[in-house]
Amino acid sequence: MRKKYKKDKNPNKNQTSFYFEDYLETNKKIRFSQKKNFLQDRVYLLFFLFFTLILIFSLRIVHISLNKLEISNQSNSSKKITLLRRDIVDRNGELISRNIQSFHAAINPKLIKNKENFLINLRLNFPNIQKEKIENQIKKGKYFYLKKRINQQEKEKLWNLGHKAIIFEPFQSRIYTHANLFSHIVGQVDFDNYGISGIEKYFDKELKNRDLLSEPLEITLDVNLQYLINKELNKALTTFNSTGAGALLMDVKTGEILSLVSLPNFDINKRANVKDKKYMNKITKGVYELGSIFKTFTVALALENKIVSPQTIIHDIPRSIKCSKHNISDIKEFPRNLSVEDILIRSSNIGTLLIARKIGEKKFKKFIEDANLLEIPEFQLEEVGSPISFNWNKCKLETVSFGHGITTTPLQATSTYASLTNGGNIIQPTLIKRKFNKTNKKLISKSTSENINKILRKVVTDKNGTASLANIDGYYVGGKTGTSQNYQNKKDNLNTFISIFPSQKPKYALLVMLENPKVAKDLVYNYRGSKIKASRNEAGWNSVYVAGKIIEKIGPILAIKSEDFNYQYVVEKTN
């Protein structure tokens, strides 16, 4: 039995060491663990790289989205430009004119590889281009302009072609934010940013002053008033089938122009060369016989010289008067005896003529000189008219007294009305805001001015007055009408109305004029509480009507203090 348990000489033979087996397994696990850790490190590294790239791209996208991307192939296009001209703004700071960066589109033929494809792409995007002309330019191989002063839409179309031969040349252009609205006042600049008309020309040096580039040039006009008056005048062109129109709104104390409109107007952004006379600035450059608005000057001069009072009766007024070769009469029949104020209210030619004869030529000439009615007006525009000079020959006093045979500009006529109604102080019309300094220059006395204001109010309120359609509730409008004809062509006529309001303490003067208006047969007027249609083509039936519509619209914006309207006239007038 002992033999069964005999020990082997080699105790390790056919026996696996438990310790040894455990060592091999552990070593295997260690190597697997190292390999696994190495793979994990690579995954982490790749993940970190991808995360970093995503972060960089995300930051770039955010950066681009927060900055306006300007489409341009110019390396310096994103740089802020140094303006060559100052901004122009209205009295409230509303932008009217500004310089911006624009582009010319040019082509470098040397960078075109496939000319046929290039031309096809151009033609597809710009059907109106002259293909043959461009093709010839490309054949010459010289750098040329495809189009100057391209707009943003054209620029984007060209940019989308993605062709390096298309070059965008930057330059500064002048834009006018209101297009047609200020075309006769602001004016234009040329391609080199030099003023060539309007305010742009008159203030060219000031607008290019490097020390003032950050300060806009502020003018007296009001965008809102200009828009409303322009809108009403355009309606009047249609309503009365007029060939042209004009309006001027002035502060009677300072001479500041709040609105100046001349129709037809034009878009100054298009840089068109306007030669047609119908686009002339009718308010400053137009020279006209303004007719019966001169009667106010005659009456004011007679009152100032104490020749008459408003209630003085002019007796035995004839139906007509032969003066030299002229036969002067009234349009309609008036009573033979009329007071001085009635002569102005009814607008009698003969009555005014008789008052002028009492005044005399010498005093009348001096009044016209003091009012500068025959002088070129001093104004911040070069587009101003020169009244036609004349000799004071036989019968000139008589015809001038009621506005015939004498010409002036609407600007000068309105300025004279402002002086007559502001207390008699001579004012200078201006487009630039300035502190008003009273001077000792008087056209008439304060008492005469007050009398004129009362009579002008009656022209609107009296049943025999010629301007009833301007009697807008709450504004106490006064004024005088004027209807004149072209002696060479009777079909040409000019109907004018100059109003002042509020008449008890005038603050504004408004001129409205219509060129060659026709009778508005379909227009129904609210005439002294009755609905009627007009049958006459006179200022009282068109220019007065338009002025009333304008005052209705602009009155609230002018923000006239309520106390200015708390005065009530008591008109003691019997039939």
For 290-310, write each residue's pLDDT tens digit. 999 999 999 999 999 999 999
Q: How far is CA 132 from CA 122, 148, 149, 566, 574, in A?
A: 12, 19, 22, 74, 82
Q: What is the DSSP string of 269-332?
A: GG------GGGS-TTTT--B--GGGGHHHHHHHHHHTTS--TT-EE----SEEEETTEEEE-SS
Query: What is the predicted pLDDT for the residue at 147?
Result: 86
DSSP state of 537: -
Peptide bond into 216 cis (omega under 30): no
Domain membership of residue 34 (yes or no) is no
State the pLDDT confidence band at 247, using cuts at 50, 70 and 90: very high
Same domain? 527 vs 405: yes
3 state SS of 379? coil
Separation of alpha carbons 501 and 56, rounded Å: 68
Q: What is the CATH number of the domain that holds 151?
A: 3.90.1310.10
Indicate whether 424 pLDDT > 50: yes
Task: Name the pLDDT band for 364 (thresholds 50, 70, 90).
Answer: very high
pLDDT above 90 coverage of the chain, percent: 59
Q: Are residues 386 and 519 in the same domain?
A: yes
Q: What is the mean pLDDT of residues 184-203?
A: 92
Classified as helix, coil or strand, 64 is helix
Instruction: For residue 47, tell me if it sits in a domain.
Output: no
- Band the pLDDT of 568: cuts 50, 70, 90: very low
Ranked by mean pLDDT, which of 80-94, 336-350, 421-435 comes out on top?
A: 336-350
Where is 247: in which H helix or E strand?
strand 244-251
Q: How confident is the model over 540-554, as pLDDT tens digits?
A: 999 999 999 999 999
Max alpha carbon distance in the chain (Å)? 182
Residues 415 and 397 in one domain: yes
Over range 103-126, report the average pLDDT: 87
The token pair at 302 is: 């007679």
Domain boundary, last residue among 199, 218, 237: 218
Structural domain harbouring 106: 88-218
pLDDT band at 86 (very low <50, low <70, confident <90, very high): very high
Q: Is residue 18 part of a domain?
A: no
Separation between Cα atoms, residue 358 and residue 308, nearest integer Å = 9
Q: Is residue 48 part of a domain?
A: no
Q: How confident is the model at residue 355 (pLDDT cuts 50, 70, 90)?
A: very high
Residues 172 and 235 in one domain: no
- Contact at 8 Å (CB) between 422 and 450? no
Contacts of 229 (CB under 8 A, 6+ apart): 247, 249, 259, 261, 550, 553, 554
Is 33 part of any domain?
A: no
* Residue 367's pLDDT band (cuts 50, 70, 90): very high
pTM of the model: 0.80
Supply angle C-alpha 431, 435, 440, rounded to 5: 100
Query: Does residue 130 sit in the same domain as residue 251?
Result: no
Residue 166 is assigned to a structural domain of this protein? yes
Q: Is the pLDDT of residue 518 over 60?
A: yes
Query: b/e per residue, 483-509, with b = 16+ CB within 10 A?
Result: bbeeeeeeeebbbbbbbbbbbbbbbbb
Banded model confidence at residue 486, pLDDT cuts 50, 70, 90: low
Q: What is the pLDDT of residue 174?
A: 92
**Is the domain of 190 the same as that of 261?**
no
pLDDT (average), residues 275-300: 94
Q: Write a three-state SS string for 91-145.
A: CCCCEEEEEEEEEEEEECHHHCCCHHHHHHHHHHHCCCCCHHHHHHHHHHCCCEE
The DSSP secondary-structure symbol of 373 reads: T
- Domain match, 236 and 334 both: yes
Residue 222 is classified by DSSP as -
443 and 492 together in one domain:
yes
Q: Classify 260 as helix, strand or coil.
A: strand
Chain centroid to Cα 300, Å, comes to 35
Q: What is the mean pLDDT of the chain?
A: 86
Query: What is the structure's pLDDT at 51?
Result: 79
Give Cβ neighbours of residue 95 (< 8 Å, ≥ 6 apart): 87, 88, 89, 177, 216
Pick from 9, 511, 12: nearest CA to 286: 511
Q: Are residues 505 and 376 in the same domain?
A: yes
**CATH code of the domain covering residue 302:** 3.40.710.10
How does residue 226 score in pLDDT terms, banded at 50, 70 and 90? Answer: very high
User: Based on the domain organization, do 213 and 254 belong to the same domain?
Assistant: no
Predicted confidence (pLDDT) per residue in 31-44, tens digit: 555 656 666 777 77
Other CB atoms within 10 Å distance of the CB of residue 542: 30
Q: What is the pLDDT of residue 66?
A: 60
CB distance 480 to 504 below 8 Å: no
Do 241 and 161 lie in a common domain? no
In a domain, 67, yes or no: no
DSSP state of 203: T
Q: Which of 218, 241, 261 is the last residue of a domain?
A: 218
Tell whether 570 is covered by a domain: no
Same domain, 236 and 124: no
Residue 423 corresponds to which tokens in the numbers above? 């207390």
The total number of structural domains in the chain stands at: 2
pLDDT exceeds cutoff 90 at 255: yes
